[in-house]
Amino acid sequence: MELVSIVTEKLLGIGVYDYYDVSCDHLLVPIKDMLLSLCINVVMSVVGFSAVIRTIPLVSSMFIDAGLFGRDLCKKERDKKVPESMGMVSGSVFLITMFLFLGVPFGHHFINRSSPFPHAVFAEYLTSLLSICCMLFLGFADDVLNLKWRYKLVLPTLASLPLLMVYYINMGSTTVVVPKPLRAWIGLTLNIGPLYYIYMSMLAVFCTNAINIYAGINGLESGQAIVISASVATFNLVELGCYQSKFHYFSLCLIIPFLATSLGLYFYNRYPAKAFVGDTYTYFAGMTFAVVAIIGHFSKTVLLFFLPQIFNFLYSTPQLFHFVPCPRHRLPRYNPDSDKLEPSLAEFKTNAVRKPVLSVLRILSRFGFVRLKEGLGEDGDMCTINNLTLINLALLKLGPQNEGTLTSILLLLQVLSSCLAFFIRYPLADLFF
Could you say whether residue 29 binds ligand UD1 (CB under 6 A)?
no
354 binds ligand UD1 (CB under 6 A): no
Alpha-carbon gap, residue 139 to 286, rounded angstroms: 11
Distance CA 46, CA 312 (A): 32
Q: Is 72 in the site for Mg ion (CB under 5 A)?
A: no
CB closer to ligand UD1 out of 106 and 348: 348
Q: Does 85 bind Mg ion (CB under 5 A)?
A: no
Q: How far is the CB of 385 from ligand UD1 (least distance, A)?
A: 14
Q: How far is CA 213 from the centre of its chain?
A: 11
Identify whether the C-beta of residue 400 lies closer than 8 Å to the C-beta of residue 341: yes
Range in contact with ligand UD1 (rule: CB under 6 A) among 57-65, 208-216, 294-302, 408-416? 208-216
For ligand UD1, which residue has the nearest CB? 70
Q: Does 212 bind ligand UD1 (CB under 6 A)?
A: yes
Shortest spacing between CB 394 and ligand UD1, in angstroms: 15
The C-alpha angle 359, 362, 364, rounded to 5 degrees, equals 110
Q: Nearest distance from residue 214's CB to ligand UD1, in Å?
A: 8
Render the burial of 321-356: b for 16+ CB within 10 Å, e for the rest: eebbebeeebbbbbeeeeebbbbbbbeeebeebeee
**Residue (of 174, 170, 171) closest to 124 by Cα position:** 170
**Does residue 279 bind ligand UD1 (CB under 6 A)?**
yes
- The CA distance from 271 to 74, in Å, is 11
Considering the rule CB under 6 A, would residue 329 count as an interface residue with ligand UD1? yes
Total binding residues toward ligand UD1, as defined by CB under 6 A: 18
Q: Which of 83, 216, 286, 343 binds ligand UD1 (CB under 6 A)?
A: 216
Q: Does residue 309 touch Mg ion according to CB under 5 A?
A: no
Instruction: Give min distance, CB of 114 to ligand UD1, in A.
Output: 52
Single residue of 71, 81, 108, 183 touching ligand UD1 by CB under 6 A? 71
CA dist., res. 320 & res. 213, Å (int) = 10
CB of residue 70 vs ligand UD1: minimum separation in angstroms? 2
Only segment of 86-94, 164-172, 210-218, 258-266 that touches Mg ion (CB under 5 A): 210-218
Q: Which stretch binds ligand UD1 (CB under 6 A): 65-73, 93-101, 333-341, 354-362?
A: 65-73
Interacting positions 278-307 with Mg ion (CB under 5 A): 279
Residue 388 near residue 318, CB atoms below 8 Å: yes
| Nearest residue to 313 (alpha-carbon basis) of 164, 400, 405, 202 | 202
| Minimum CB distance to Mg ion smaller for 72 or for 279 | 279
Report the residue from 85, 160, 218, 261 that binds ligand UD1 according to the rule CB under 6 A: 218
Confirm or reject binding of residue 212 to Mg ion (CB under 5 A): yes
Q: Supply the minimum distance, in Å, between the C-beta of residue 272 and ligand UD1.
A: 10
For ligand UD1, which residue of 33, 84, 124, 239 counts as binding (CB under 6 A)? Answer: 84
One residue of 34, 86, 163, 217 binding ligand UD1 per CB under 6 A? 217
Q: Which of Mg ion, ligand UD1, none binds 332 (CB below 5-8 Å, type-dependent)?
A: none
Residues lying near ligand UD1 in the complex (CB under 6 A) are found at 70-74, 84, 212-213, 215-218, 273, 276, 279, 329-331
Binding region for Mg ion (CB under 5 A) = 212, 279
